[in-house]
Chains A and B, each alone.
Chain A
């Protein structure tokens, strides 16, 4: 890596080609700046920029600093152990990132979760989505030097984490969906607290608008910065709110509805401008829609009595003690079969819309107790490339703005 020390051309830059960080001689008065991986403004990644004065000429996102060989680790573990493992890609979005894995295995097993379990999954997915967006807002706020916007979303995120904690028993690593259902039913009075949180968040979004999104100072920094044109967004294959903020209608919940998303009444906002401000608005609008989904899910859960939340294949072998605990505590105990589960030979593919975009799982089984292969393509991995194309031409001060508005999450990208 010594070739990266200087840009003055003493070392053979022409020859240096490392995947993700290849470099070349640029010329006189060009400086190469390494931002990250320890830089507070970059997360666990490095962005190599070459600057002429204050203007970025070239940018190279250099990822892989938090690679944990997750796909390989998954091959050495029983099926159910994959859930807590893959969850660690994005712990604050745990239900969304593990759901397609669960669904892919369910496809191979030929089972489907009961309706109530589907609603419960959607419930936690949307709670996670809101919490993850708020997390992104907080990071974005501190990037552009707005420390109020750092404190507020992190404080309000606690509301959603508290609810998720109450529902699942853990603040972040919920391990909530399992094959054929979910692990717990909603506690008594949960839906009332949820409704309060929804009403609170609606008010709060209006305050966010006033202090941050529509604040003239912030607007001046975000407007027309980091524009991703529609065709570039499609070409690069970026995904999630970033893609929708560029005017492309693509949301897995809409294009390939899973669980009960096709029965819920909500909107997919699509912003046209594609700049940093539009990306923030996109997320604000999506939080509003998530709140709408949660309201409907709360109503549904209130109207329908408690029924088994695990598929019959697992639930019918459950001893009376399990059933009693489910009746009294709402906790669906797992049958020992889960640890020894053999999944029929085959290949399955599933996807879901996480807070950062589409995540896809390709799962292959050779009929054994462990997966033969689990391939994951996460949303952040697809979004990372965008830095290379939209940073050039901007000033260095725009880098945190763009980075924050993309809501890039390195642990998810590196896996």
Chain B
């Protein structure tokens, strides 16, 4: 392999006809995009961006898989994931005991995804959306019950899903989302 090498450069020269040629070129390109503009604005909420699998969106707990190890709370850089103590009855012995369960505080979460990645049993997963509305701040601190349900995604109920793909000629283009795509 070849290592990087320095290359001295100078600004392109300004020819005699630069003022004429340059202006003409700039105008021509303006005309080109006037006739055929490149637009990919998302008409939200009529459309919504169907994000790809693997997007680090809101987080949901699968309680059955959780082994109460607290790894997620320990690694959380924003202290958004917290363990709460919930008393419950042991099925086998019938005795009263206290267990720790993770809950999330979306006022603090920065969606780094460390908790999902560190969970040894895959008890946490990301939903691929992030435009979720809460009525007030207190609601953003979920309890164990609401942490197990994917948050309500209003945009998906009203809008049509689109997806952005890279095109060689036009850069980012908006295409309708086809069912089953990842």
Which A residues have a C-beta under 8 Å from some C-beta of B?
77-78, 80-81, 83-85, 148, 155-156, 158-159, 162-163, 165-166, 168-170, 173, 175, 183-184, 187, 193-194, 196-197, 199-200, 203-204, 207, 210-212, 214-217, 219, 223, 247, 249, 251, 253-254, 257, 261-273, 277-278, 281, 285, 319, 321-322, 325, 329, 331-336, 338-340
Contacts and interface: CB of A to CB of B under 8 A. Distances in A.
A321 B120 contact: yes
Interface string B96-117: 0000000000000011111001
B90 interface: no
Contact of A159 (B14, B117, B166): B166
A257 B29 contact: no
A269 B5 CA distance: 9
B77 A261 contact: no
Contacts of A85: 77
Nearest to A278: B11
A281 B120 CA distance: 49
Given A219-B18, A338-B75, 4 more contacts: A85-B77, A166-B52, A170-B56, A273-B11
Contacts of A267: 4-7
Interface stretch (B20-28, B133-141, B151-159): B20-28
Most buried by A among B9, B40, B54, B122: B9
Contact of A183 (B1, B2, B117, B171): B117
Given A80-B75, A158-B172, A175-B112, A271 B117 contact: no
B148 interface: no
Nearest to A168: B56
A269 B30 CA distance: 29
A265 B74 CA distance: 42
A217 B118 CA distance: 55
A336 B4 contact: no
Contacts of A266: 4
Contacts of A148: 30
Contacts of A325: 122
A210 B29 CA distance: 7
A156 B38 CA distance: 11
B6 A254 contact: yes
B9 A156 contact: no
Contacts of B169: 200, 203
Q: 9 smallest A-B Cβ distances: which pairs?
A: A81-B77, A339-B75, A169-B56, A263-B1, A265-B2, A216-B22, A339-B74, A210-B25, A336-B71
Interface in B26-64: 26, 28-30, 38, 40, 51-52, 54-56
14 contacts: A81-B75, A148-B30, A183-B113, A196-B166, A204-B171, A210-B22, A215-B26, A216-B22, A217-B23, A219-B18, A267-B6, A270-B9, A339-B74, A339-B75
Contacts of A336: 69, 71, 74-75, 118, 120
Contact of B114 (A80, A269, A270, A277): A80
Nearest to A253: B4
A67 B173 CA distance: 38
Contact of A333 (B18, B40, B118): B118
Contacts of B114: 80, 84, 175, 334, 338
Contacts of B170: 200
Contacts of B171: 155-156, 158-159, 197, 200, 204
B166 A200 contact: yes
B19 interface: yes
B3 interface: yes
A338 B118 contact: yes
Given A273-B11, A334-B118, A162 B164 contact: yes
A43 to B, nearest CB: 23
Contacts of A156: 171
A169 B26 contact: no
B168 A200 contact: yes
Nearest to B118: A334
A285 B12 CA distance: 12
Q: Which of B30, B110, B112 has the largest count of A CB atoms less than 10 A from its CB?
A: B112
A321 B118 CA distance: 12
Contact of A271 (B10, B14, B167): B10
B38 A155 contact: yes
Nearest to A166: B52
A247 B9 CA distance: 9
Contacts of B74: 336, 339-340
B4 A262 contact: yes
Contacts of A203: 169
